[in-house]
Structure 1
Amino acid sequence: MQIVIAHSHLNPGGVTRIIESQIDSLSGNDIKVLVGACSDEESITSRGAELHIIEDLNYLERRKYSDKQAMELLHKIHRELREHLGKDSVLHFHNLNLGKNPIVTYAVYLLAKEGVRVFNHAHDFAEDRPTNLQFLKEILTDIFLQDVNEVLYPNLPSYQFGVLNSHDYERLVSYGVNTDRVEWLPNPVAVKVSDEVPDKENAKTDICTSLQLNPEKLLVTYPVRVIQRKNIGEFILLSLLFAHKANFVVTQPPQNPVEIEMYNQWLAFCEKEGITIAFEAGTKVDFEKLLSGSDFCITTSYKEGFGMVYLEPWLLDTPVVGRDIDFITKDFRKDGFEFPTLYYKINIPGVKIDFKDLNMKMQMEIISGINSGKIEKQKIFEQNPILNTLFRTVATHITEKNKSIIRNNYSLKGYGIKLQERYKKMVG
């Protein structure tokens, strides 16, 4: 059996890390990786997988295509994929249903109709991103005269799905996908700590020295690439509310040009307001050392596929606090996980909706108002009493319990076993 793993790119981020974990968990198998772009080829080849760059798999430029242009690209992509598939291959494709390249999505659908075994690993869905869904319709319906739902969720025994959580499992079933064609596949959680990473206290001292932070304050890290759904405005709000007791750090800048514009506006805003946050810390210090040295990791994200940020830091004895995403955390809580302080909403005096639902301009106005004293900090804490517990010391037994659950329920070995059993069912 040959396993062909495919994705639009291998830029640093969540899906890339999962692909690397899959290769590790399937060690000993014949693995080929097909991607549109890869910034670090050695990260794949050093794991024993064969890597092929097929530029047409990358995101498709959002513009109008003639019928001829779309058809020519479809035939080209179909041929490029087919060349790498044998009789016993399983094509494990990541995020086909996100809508970033509708022609790739359609080509894989056609391959499945021809009998190719497809495992569609769904991290995100176009249904949650209206512009992506519209792009799918422009290509699949307007040009190829296809029903979008049929292409995304074909009723073919050779076309199966992997999902990250129970919410997405139920979603696929509601879309008409038979349960026997869906694998609930929570991401593996593993942190490889180098022997050179010092203990927590010394790691914090080193990080604070490198980033020129006050070591007497708490070190609070948001381990993400700043994109819209990570809700960076709320992170900045919290940094202002707790400026007296904590250093706030965020790890990576965005790469998408649309996101960069938003990010630069927030950088300029923080500079103008004199709000001190260590941006892009992940480009300046070792990531695992940063997580290890942090007193807390925080998340203000309002949309996640799996929610690795809720789990991974615990393995480095770093508690996780911040905004709760119930359909994500409910799976972890069922496993017995305890979270010290997660909140569902931030109320602002005189504002009727959750802070996360405000546009950037309104978020900036509120933060600026707090910074100038027009909005009293104390009023924010009165309307959001849970914030008073946000950085309360977490008992060691909770950390140890959570670490144990991760090791038992989200191991790399168990993940590999699940994958191989699903592949074997598909191959027969």
Structure 2
Amino acid sequence: MRVALVHYHLQGGGVTRIVCHQQKALGRHDIKTVILTGKPPAVRDAGDYRIVSGLQYEADRPAVTPAELAAQMRAAAGAALGGPPDLWHVHNHSLGKSLVLPLALGLLAARGERLLYQLHDFAEDGRPGNYRAMLAAMAAGRRQILSRLLYPQGGHLHYAVLNRRDHQFLCEAGLGGDHLHLLHNPVDLGPVAPEVFPAAEREPLWLYPTRAIRRKNLGEFLLWSALAPRGTRFGTTSGPENPVEQPRYRRWLQVAGELGLPIRFELVQPGGPDFSALLQRAEVAMTTSIAEGFGMAFLEPWLLGVPVFGRNLPEIMPPAGAEKLCQPWTYDRLDVPLDWLGRGRIERAAQEGLRRCLAAYGRNPGKDDVHRVLAAWIRDGGVDFGRLDEPLQETVLRRLVVGQAQSALMQPMDVATAASRGDAVATNRSLLQNRYSLARYGEALEAMYRQVARSATSAIDHLDGEILLDRFLAPERLSLLRVD
């Protein structure tokens, strides 16, 4: 079997890691692969690849028509594989990073070529700028046309997603179950140096192993640092690269300094410990993120014997069952007293946030939508901290630090005893090494590819993109950290 893996770039990041994992995992199987990408890779573990410059992001790519891009992809794949690919495995085609790739793929689909669209992220989920650009440039402002271009459906077209939420949403949008695959990411840190700091000798570092972009909810990380026992240190691995993220990030750095919080930022630096070594050194790994596609932060630390504490995201975690991940130190919401902010202020924030969120997608709130938002945000006199924007979070944080007596109103940090940690670590490490290994991942990919390759070609229809918007824009899902 010949497979072309397609992604805009190999410049680092979560999707790049998965594309490289896929090629590595398939190397043990009778499947020949090549990665088609827009420019030379920046990662060291890229395998066999070919450059197709028209695959670059919209702002970087040379001018190319859909027909030209499709022809370039077919030529590059055929030359590398010794013949045309049996299927195309394409990553994040519908995210809005390219206004020509979805159209080029449509031409391949119309020829009867088999495609597997793997969706890691959605333009409908907190990326309104991307969505509007596609709507204007590709569909003349008509959402039904955009749905046809982004989400074609046919016997020879399959989709793969990372979590139960996306699987459910696509099913509800009309995708048949035998053409929709739930493909959990592998969890593989690669070669890791022997542990230098045994558990008994670890300093009390609570590490957030993340690039501190907005949806990672940095304010909540600062809040926990204010509640921690004296002597506990906190740290993040990386800062944001996107210039749009910088003002909010710099503000949190300023607030942490003003309040004397025990946090060091951007611990992964040239000449210092790398990501894996730093994570291995931590006593606890933290996550306060409010939105993920898969959630590596919940999984990777356990491989190194490090327990995870923080905000749970049930809809993106693997389903319950005999092989359920043990998560004794996570929480589904973090309520702070509503009267610290005032109900009126929260209601106004909810109303304005909902209006702006929907307006970004060309929609208006329904009669009961604000009530649905508030019902999700407020419970028993408390409001979920993760739903608030940065100014509201800062107000809470300053009140908590300045008025220390009120910290009793907040739940304490607790990662239990060393003995119970050991039980959880052993359980989760075994699960990850077996269920989420590269070998297991390669087997799942091969089975999926065989199914796609056997699929008969058919006429092409499309999913209902309005249903996808309905699901992602449901008022209950609103968090102000995802509103521009």
The TM-score with structure 1 as length reference comes to 0.85
In structure 2, C-alpha distance between the alignment counterparts of 1:112 and 1:226, rounded to whole Å: 38
Relative distance call for 1:203 and 1:315 in structure 2 (3 A) is farther
1:59 counterpart residue number: 57
In structure 1, C-alpha distance between the alignment counterparts of 2:111 and 2:141, rounded to whole Å: 21
Determine what percentage of the aligned residue pairs are the same residue: 31
Q: 1:281 aligns with which of 257, 260, 267?
A: 267
Alpha carbons 1:155, 1:177 under 8 Å: kept: yes
Q: 2:89 aligns with which of 83, 89, 92?
A: 92
Q: How does 1:250-261 map to 2 (within 5 A)?
A: 250-261=236-247
In structure 1, C-alpha distance between the alignment counterparts of 2:9 and 2:321, rounded to whole Å: 32
Relative distance call for 1:200 and 1:192 in structure 2 (3 A) is farther
In structure 2, C-alpha distance between the alignment counterparts of 1:51 and 1:300, rounded to whole Å: 36
Alpha carbons 2:50, 2:76 under 8 Å: kept: no
Alpha carbons 1:200, 1:292 under 8 Å: kept: no
- Report whether the alignment pairs 1:300 with 2:298: no
Render the CA deviation track for 1:145-193: whole Å, top value 9, x for unaligned. Answer: 9712222221222221111122222221111111111121101112334
In structure 2, C-alpha distance between the alignment counterparts of 1:145 and 1:348, rounded to whole Å: 39
Alpha carbons 1:93, 1:121 under 8 Å: kept: yes
- Report whether the alignment pairs 1:313 with 2:301: yes
In structure 1, C-alpha distance between the alignment counterparts of 2:395 and 2:329, rounded to whole Å: 27
In structure 1, C-alpha distance between the alignment counterparts of 2:163 and 2:408, rounded to whole Å: 38
Render the CA deviation track for 1:40-90: whole Å, top value 9, x for unaligned. Answer: 25321xxxx32233343233249xxxxxx98x5434433332322343342
Alpha carbons 2:96, 2:123 under 8 Å: kept: yes
Q: How does 1:210-225 map to 2 (within 5 A)?
A: 215=203, 218-225=204-211
Alpha carbons 1:299, 1:309 under 8 Å: kept: yes
2:449 counterpart residue number: 423
Render the CA deviation track for 1:284-342: whole Å, top value 9, x for unaligned. Answer: 31222222221111110111111111111111111111001111235266623211211
C-alpha deviation, 1:131, in angstroms: 2.8
Q: 2:212 aligns with which of 220, 226, 229?
A: 226
1:116 counterpart residue number: 113
Render the CA deviation track for 1:83-128: whole Å, top value 9, x for unaligned. Answer: 2234334221111122222321222122212222211111111221
Alpha carbons 1:140, 1:148 under 8 Å: kept: yes
In structure 1, C-alpha distance between the alignment counterparts of 2:453 and 2:145, rounded to whole Å: 28
The structure whose RCO (Cα within 8 Å, separation 6+) is larger is: 2
Aligned pair count? 400
- Report whether the alignment pairs 1:326 with 2:340: no
Alpha carbons 1:8, 1:59 under 8 Å: kept: yes
2:23 counterpart residue number: 23
- One-letter amino acid of the structure 1 residue matched with residue 8 of structure 2: S
2:153 counterpart residue number: 155
- Report whether the alignment pairs 1:368 with 2:365: no
C-alpha deviation, 1:271, in angstroms: 2.6
1:408 counterpart residue number: 434
User: 1:20 is paired with a residue of what secondary structure?
Assistant: helix
Alpha carbons 1:11, 1:39 under 8 Å: kept: yes
C-alpha deviation, 1:239, in angstroms: 1.2
Render the CA deviation track for 1:246-278: whole Å, top value 9, x for unaligned. Answer: 211111112222123322222233233332312
Relative distance call for 1:43 and 1:395 in structure 2 (3 A) is closer
In structure 2, C-alpha distance between the alignment counterparts of 1:330 and 1:414, rounded to whole Å: 15
C-alpha deviation, 1:234, in angstroms: 0.8
User: 2:20 is paired with a residue of what secondary structure?
Assistant: helix
In structure 1, C-alpha distance between the alignment counterparts of 2:144 and 2:168, rounded to whole Å: 25
In structure 2, C-alpha distance between the alignment counterparts of 1:234 and 1:323, rounded to whole Å: 9
In structure 2, C-alpha distance between the alignment counterparts of 1:392 and 1:354, rounded to whole Å: 28
User: 1:33 is paired with a residue of what secondary structure?
Assistant: strand
User: 1:353 is paired with a residue of what secondary structure?
Assistant: strand
1:3 counterpart residue number: 3
C-alpha deviation, 1:373, in angstroms: 2.5
Relative distance call for 1:302 and 1:250 in structure 2 (3 A) is same
1:264 counterpart residue number: 250
In structure 2, C-alpha distance between the alignment counterparts of 1:109 and 1:200, rounded to whole Å: 54
Alpha carbons 2:103, 2:149 under 8 Å: kept: yes
In structure 1, C-alpha distance between the alignment counterparts of 2:445 and 2:318, rounded to whole Å: 23
- One-letter amino acid of the structure 1 residue matched with residue 311 of structure 2: R
User: 1:427 is paired with a residue of what secondary structure?
Assistant: helix
User: 2:77 is paired with a residue of what secondary structure?
Assistant: coil
In structure 1, the gaps of 5 or more residues are: 63-68, 205-214
In structure 2, C-alpha distance between the alignment counterparts of 1:395 and 1:99, rounded to whole Å: 42
Q: 2:37 aligns with which of 35, 38, 43?
A: 35
User: 1:96 is paired with a residue of what secondary structure?
Assistant: coil
In structure 2, the gaps of 5 or more residues are: 79-83, 342-381, 455-484
Alpha carbons 2:294, 2:317 under 8 Å: kept: no
User: 2:9 is paired with a residue of what secondary structure?
Assistant: coil
CA RMSD of aligned residues (A): 2.6
1:378 counterpart residue number: 408
